[in-house]
Structure 1
Amino acid sequence: MSKPIIYFLCTGNSCRSQMAEGLGRHMLGDEYEVHSAGIEAHGVNPKAVEMMDEVGIDIRGQESAVIDRDLLNRARLVITLCGDAKENCPVTPPNVDTDHWGLVDPAKAEGTEEEVNQVFRDVRDDIKRRIEALKAQ
């Protein structure tokens, strides 16, 4: 029997949803099939890769993808990570649970490299806490 699917959705599938997919696979991979996608596919952000490396999770093999309607319809849980995805996500069937985690876009962070890195870390750590809470349910 296949595992239930968790689908993380964002605007460009480059930062937030990629980190969520990596963390989700790492933390929930025994129980769930974890995927991510975007309204558009902007490629995996190198800074997201770097910040995930800091916690020992390699997301280099992940690909930036647009939302797959079949996967969306088969998902157990769809989590939007930004307002754009929440507003523009295709309608999910009634049997699919949805949640919204409104996260800042780390790709838009400004400042020194360390300040930008910290925004990425904060988003990554927020996602991790939310996945831990999800796992505890």
Structure 2
Amino acid sequence: MQHEKFGEKDFQTIIGNLLRYGVWISLSVAFLGGIVYLIHNGSHIEDYSVFKENDRNIFEVITAVYNGAIQGNGSYLIFVGIILLFLTPVLRVLLSLFSFILEKDYLYVGITLIVIAIIITSISFGFSH
């Protein structure tokens, strides 16, 4: 019995499914959060005339979002949906990296590592002042 090699077509199928299901899951979570938010805050009018800056670091934000989502807070559920939507293409880049490593396409491994470094840098500086 011959073992089949895990090929590029398999990675393309996985990446396609990741993008498809990632978008649907993030949309579902955000939609559920919107429903919960409207049930609890539907009559509340938010005051957007004053911008409130957030001075928390990334770990405090992640902890707050996690705790809020676990408690069923609608606004945090919406935020989880947005985070999932953001992470979907990031995971695609990571899967592409593994695909390029298996294919021994080192030019694209290098390019993908640069893209990952840019993403990490952007996230890091986006939450620091």
**TM-score, shorter chain, exceeding 0.5:** no
Higher helix fraction (1 or 2): 2
Report the TM-score, using the length of structure 2 for normalisation.
0.30
Higher strand fraction (1 or 2): 1
